[in-house]
Each structure stands twice: as structure tokens, then as C-alpha cells.
Amino acid sequence: MSTRQPIRKSVRFEVFKRDNFTCQYCGAKAPDVILHVDHINPVSKGGDNEIINLVTACQPCNLGKSDRVLSDSSSIDRQRAQLEGLNERREQLEMMLAWRDELQSFGDTTVDLVAERIVARMPGHSINEHGRSLIRNWIKKFSVEEILDALDVAADKMSSSPDQEEVNECFDAIPRICVTRRLPEVKQKMLYARGILRRRIYVNHSIVMPLMANAIEAGLDVEELIEFSKTVKNWTEFRAAMEEIANG
């Protein structure tokens, strides 16, 4: 006769989880009933505490079963199938975790490559951990090609020996350029015209874009808008011209 050993709490919990906290004899569930862990093959007949020999049973079923061995193998087969299913899910989870680690490694490599390209365009400067975290966020939103193209656009505007302020402005401009380049071409050129105006004259930022949009909708060619932005003398003149075109 086998000596009864207490079932560890961790093992009991694993059995309950495997069986969805449901009595495998009658289908009763916690917390409607008190659940026990029952030996399929009783200890008195050589059963052990291996999980394959354990099953969730409600208190009435467990007490009524005494030390009788189940009359067929259906419960054992069910437990074996459940264990096989658990093992399959565990293996799939391990594969998913490995895949996540591979993606993380790939992401870190991509960040390194983008950071190297940025530093190459900014001689004498480096990227700290905060900068790397920003690059990592960019990569989630934009393709590497978009980021590098934006870098070229921003870096081409810097002087040959940029100071820290210039470098910071270039770095911060990269995601904005990525966003702009996803806009329709007309909208991109309107933003370009706005940039010209902002560098040359005072601009009312709250209405400049709607003014340009109304004028273009009324027939103003966007290339003409750009050229006008390069020569207009002040905001009053620009606003009057846009309103005149919009109002026909």
C-alpha cells in the first residue's frame, strides 16, 4: 500500500487551473462548490501525486467516491488530452516569447543603424539614451526609408559646422518631415509656403493655412502661392491677396 503524501498547494492550483476549476465528475464549478483534488487511482491502490493521476472533484463527488478506481479510462484520457493541450500552449507561448525577443533584437539593431546615420550627418555630436528612445518611437510609426529621407531633408538645411541648437532643431524636424511627406502633395506645398512666410514676415498662425486653402480652392495655383510667399512684403498684404482670390 502506498503512503499518502500531502499534495502541495502549487500542484493543487495547477490541477484546478487545468480543469478550469470544474468538478470533472459532475461539472459543478467554484465557488458554487468546494473543490478538492482527487486521486484517479487511489493512494490505497498504488496511486501517486503525479498530476496525471490528479483530478478536480467537488466535495460531494470526492467524498462519495471513496477509494474506488474509476470504471473506465475516460477521465484519464481526458486529463491526458488536457495535459497535451497545455503542453502545446506552453510550447507556442515559448515560441511567441522567442519571436518577441528576436523582434526586440532586430528593433535595437535598427535603432543603432538609424542613430549611426544621424550622427554621420551631425559631425561632432552624439545621441543619448533619450534620443535613442525617440528614434525607437519613430520606427514604430514610420519606415526606416521615410526616416532617413527626412534626415537628409533636415540635415541639408544645417550649416557645415552646426552648433548644438542647430543639431537639436534638425533632430526634432525628422518626425515632422515624415508626417508632412505622408500628406497630399498640395498640402505639403502649402506647408512649404507657410514655412517661407514664417521665415520672412509675421504670420497669423491660426488663419494662415485656412486662408491659403480657400485661395487654392478658388483657383490659385499652389506654385504661384509659393512664389508669392517669397516676395510678399508683410502679413497684411498676404492676407488681403488671399481673401481677394477666395472671394473672387
pLDDT tens, residue order, the chain (248 aa): 456 678 888 888 888 888 888 888 888 888 888 899 988 878 887 778 888 888 888 888 887 754 445 445 555 666 666 667 666 766 776 777 777 666 666 668 888 889 999 999 988 889 999 999 999 999 989 999 999 999 999 999 888 888 999 999 999 999 999 999 999 999 999 999 999 999 999 999 899 999 999 999 999 999 999 999 999 999 999 999 999 999 97
What the block records as the C-alpha cell of 231 is 516676395
- The domain segmentation of the chain, as residue ranges, is 9-71, 91-182, 184-248
Strand partners, 212: none
Instruction: Give the contacts of 110 (CB within 8 A, at least 6 positions apart).
Output: 139, 144
Q: How far apart are CA 208 and CA 239, in angstroms?
A: 8
